[in-house]
Amino acid sequence: MSLFQHYPLQHYLLVSAMLFAAGLYTVLTRRNAVSILMGVELILNAANVNFVAFARHGGIGIRGDVFVVFTIVLAAAEAAVALAIILGIYRNFGTTDVDRTDALNG
């Protein structure tokens, strides 16, 4: 018996909902670009928990781990591009505050 089948599906959905809510709160309330990026990563991890939980509990043969690997690769590429953009913003404006960088004419 694997770890995923020990707890009911609702527990994993609750954890996923809490991760999503924390990520959404972070994205909506933070002004620092790095903090917003961390919130997006939390949202992607909430989706990963859902993929794996439904794959284990669904019983219809869907491979959730394949989707998770795809999402992790997508998140790594997104993080690399976003960090490059954040470094460019910091070099041009001297801050990572997204409210101060609304006019991108330097």
Cα dihedral across residues 47, 48, 53, 56: positive or negative: positive
Instruction: Please return the burial class of 76, using the count of CB atoms within 10 Å of its CB with bins 0-12, 13-18 and 19+.
Output: exposed
Which residues, other chains included, contact 81 with Cβ-Cβ below 8 Å and sequence gap of 6+?
A: none
pLDDT digits (tens, 9 = 90+) for 63-74: 767 777 887 888
pLDDT at 23 over 90: yes
Walk me through the domains of the chain, giving residue ranges and CATH numbers.
9-93 (1.10.287.3510)
pLDDT digits (tens, 9 = 90+) for 38-95: 999 899 889 888 888 887 777 666 676 777 788 788 888 888 888 888 888 888 888 8
Residue type, 60: I
